[in-house]
């Protein structure tokens, strides 16, 4: 392959402001050399990295994602955000593996402000590995459209995943224990048993409570008009289910079976009986 066609991986890096970013700055000032593949996003803490940041980076075509933070026990915040980052990375690796992406494309490392040479070594090693893996999708032997569809599905389910796994995501464990925190079977079951929500047209009273509270405006309806959930927009957060008044219980959760089709527009108007004088 000619030099002009050489694969140059695109790597997105999320760096902690206090340690890893400062280490990268020292690396530059000291003229240490490393591959110029990484594009840096500076964060105040590695704990700010969300599942959505990682999956969207790959969805947008990144060949690798790097997260750099303070060494465990040295976080500049009482929340110890680097433990949260480590937890998120291990969950993300399982999600990536489920979609067909090689989990080695995602890496987290600890670099202090004085470790400029370590930053260069880590980036040199990671850049070399991502380059060896090849372009995203092609290196895994997956069709580009198929991979994009799987990543979009996983990204859309992030709020649901964070709700279901909230207890595990809150854990602060020994570093070695995180690798066994999530299993492949657990992730497969998570996607297989995704809960969907449906508004029963026979019980909906068009009170508009769920419509107002939906965080992504996935519910359509109005006064005296039966509400309908747009399944394509729904993020499975369960807000509608929790907010529906118990006396109506119109919102149903469905798992393991298809959601019933939405009621036709012309049948959605509720004709209320006038009060007797």
pLDDT, position 4: 60
Query: Which pairs with CB-CB distance under 8 Å and at least 24 residues apart come from 270-276?
Result: 270/205, 270/206, 270/224, 270/225, 270/226, 271/224, 272/224
Q: Where do we find the tokens 């929500």?
A: 197
3-state class (DSSP) for residue 229 = strand
Query: Cβ neighbours of residue 34 under 8 Å, at least 6 residues apart?
Result: 27, 119, 120, 121, 123, 124, 127
Give domain 9-191's CATH number out of 3.40.50, 1.20.140, 3.30.310, 3.10.450. Answer: 3.40.50
Q: Which of 49, 45, 133, 131 is nearest to 91 (CA)?
A: 49
From the first residue on, what is the mean pLDDT of each consecutive set of 10 residues in the chain (277 residues)? Answer: 75 97 96 94 97 97 97 94 97 97 98 97 97 95 94 93 95 93 95 94 96 95 94 92 96 92 93 64
Element (H, E) at 142: none
pLDDT, position 276: 47
* C-alpha gyration radius of the chain: 23
Phi then psi for residue 143, to 5 deg, are -60, 140
Q: Where are the domains of the chain?
A: 9-191, 196-267
CATH code for the part of the protein at 196-267: 3.30.70.20
Q: Supply the DSSP symbol for 266.
A: G
pLDDT, position 3: 53
Exposure string over 112-142, b if 16+ CB within 10 A, otherwise e: bbebbebbbbbbeebbeebbebebbbebbeb
pLDDT, position 274: 65
Q: How far separated are the first and last CA of the chain, in Å rounded?
A: 88
């Amino acid at each position: 392959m000619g030099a002009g066609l050489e694969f140059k991986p695109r790597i997105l890096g999320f760096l902690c402001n206090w340690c890893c970013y400062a280490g990268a700055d020292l690396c530059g000032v000291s003229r240490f050399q490393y591959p110029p593949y990484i594009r840096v996003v500076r964060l105040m803490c590695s704990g700010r990295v969300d599942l959505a940041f990682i999956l969207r980076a790959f969805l947008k075509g990144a060949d690798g994602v790097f997260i750099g933070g303070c060494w465990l026990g040295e976080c500049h915040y009482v929340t110890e955000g680097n433990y949260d980052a480590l937890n998120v990375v291990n969950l993300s690796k399982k999600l990536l593996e489920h979609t067909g992406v090689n989990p080695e494309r995602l890496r987290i490392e600890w670099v202090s402000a004085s470790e400029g040479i370590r930053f260069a070594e880590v980036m040199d090693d990671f850049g070399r590995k991502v380059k060896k893996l090849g372009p995203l999708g092609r290196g895994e032997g997956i069709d580009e459209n198929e991979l994009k569809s799987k990543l979009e599905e996983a990204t859309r389910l992030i709020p649901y995943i964070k709700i279901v796994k909230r207890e595990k995501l809150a854990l602060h464990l020994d570093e070695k224990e995180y690798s066994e925190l999530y299993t492949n079977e657990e992730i497969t079951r998570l996607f297989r048993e995704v809960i969907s929500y449906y508004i029963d047209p026979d019980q909906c009273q068009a009170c508009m409570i769920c419509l107002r509270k939906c965080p992504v405006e996935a519910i359509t309806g109005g006064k005296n008009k039966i509400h309908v959930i747009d399944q394509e927009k729904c993020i499975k957060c369960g807000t509608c289910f929790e907010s529906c008044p118990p006396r109506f219980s119109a919102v149903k959760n469905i798992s393991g079976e298809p959601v019933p089709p939405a009621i036709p527009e012309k049948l959605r108007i509720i004709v209320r009986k006038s009060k007797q004088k």
